């Protein structure tokens, strides 16, 4: 009778007596564990940035535009919705399905404003981007431009590195019916907290000197902002480079 302790010679003997089949079974299990560990890391890394952006957004030492009188003033919003470009969005503006899909949603909103059928899925079809329904880590301005070139029929131009004078020169063009602009900006520079974001521009109220931004986040909805504040939020840098505007015509 033994005391239940296995000696080293006994372990070696057990290893020699082990059948080849048992060894083969253990090997795939080890490989599977490694594969699962790698997949977990691949998911966890971008998930960290998504969760941080949604629940712990960076804060900025600015006065939030929500405190300005014009931000969502009902009368001014009613006037803004009558601008030529804004009217084309009025009945078809959709909001993003989750916090990461502002870019695809903005593109699909542009398509519908031209009277075309579109949604997030059709915009992303065949691109390999956001395949899980979540755009892990978000999309850069150049990535969104590439998606637009692939899955829309518009001429697509990336506008970045603009001076404030260049930006002001564009303001009247925001109202041209044959053009659509999508702004890529740092939300925190406007709202006091937040990360990078995309939304279409609905137009420009010249008399009030305000830009109408069709925010695709249902929490915020469309709002009005002074051009300099919007420019400062656009004139920022992400991990993928300079933000800017996307022109579709």
How large is the average pLDDT for residues 187-207?
97
The answer to whether the beta carbons of residues 233 and 185 sit under 8 Å apart is yes
Q: Does 43 score more than 80 pLDDT? A: no
| 17-21, 135-139, 148-152: the lowest-pLDDT one | 17-21
b/e map 107-120, b = 16+ CB within 10 Å = bbbbbbbbeeebbb
Give the whole-angstrom CA distance, residue 249 versus residue 234.
Answer: 21
pLDDT in tens, 91-112: 999 999 999 999 999 999 999 9
Q: Which pLDDT tens digit goes with each residue over 118-141?
A: 999 999 999 999 999 999 889 999
Question: Alpha carbon of 220 to those of 113, 213, 214, 217: distances in Å?
Answer: 20, 10, 9, 6
Higher pLDDT, 28 or 52: 28
Q: How far is CA 21 from CA 10, 12, 47, 181, in A?
A: 20, 18, 39, 63
* 60-248 maps to CATH 3.30.1490.20: no
- Higher pLDDT residue, 209 or 238? 209
Which pLDDT does position 25 carry in this prediction? 57
Predicted confidence band at 45 (pLDDT cuts at 50, 70, 90)? very low
Domain ranges of the chain: 8-54, 60-248
pLDDT for position 239: 79
Query: pTM of this prediction?
Result: 0.79
Q: How far from the centroid of its chain's Cα atoms is residue 147's Cα?
A: 13
Quote the pLDDT of residue 220: 97
- The overall average pLDDT reported for the chain is 88
């Amino acid at each position: 009778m033994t005391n239940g302790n296995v000696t080293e010679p006994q372990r070696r003997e057990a290893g020699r007596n082990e059948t080849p089949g048992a060894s083969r079974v253990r090997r795939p299990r080890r490989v599977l564990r490694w594969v699962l560990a790698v997949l977990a890391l691949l998911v966890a890394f971008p998930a960290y940035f998504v969760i941080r952006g949604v629940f712990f957004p960076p804060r900025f030492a600015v006065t939030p535009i929500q405190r300005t009188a014009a931000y969502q003033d009902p009368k001014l919003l009613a006037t803004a919705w009558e601008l030529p470009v804004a009217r084309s969005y009025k009945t078809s503006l959709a909001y993003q399905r989750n916090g990461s899909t502002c870019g695809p949603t903005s593109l699909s909103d542009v398509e519908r404003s031209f009277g075309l059928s579109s949604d997030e899925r059709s915009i992303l079809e065949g691109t390999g981007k956001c395949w899980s329904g979540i755009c892990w880590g978000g999309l850069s301005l150049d990535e969104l431009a590439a998606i637009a070139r692939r899955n829309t029929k518009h001429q697509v131009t990336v506008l970045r590195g603009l001076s404030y004078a260049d930006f002001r020169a564009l303001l009247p063009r925001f109202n041209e019916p044959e053009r659509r602009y999508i702004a890529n900006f740092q939300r925190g520079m406007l709202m006091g907290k937040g990360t990078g974001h995309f939304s279409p521009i609905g137009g420009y109220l010249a008399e009030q000197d305000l830009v109408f931004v069709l925010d695709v986040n249902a929490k915020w909805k469309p709002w009005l902002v002074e051009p300099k504040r919007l420019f400062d939020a656009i004139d920022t840098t992400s991990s993928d480079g300079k933000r800017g505007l996307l022109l579709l015509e």
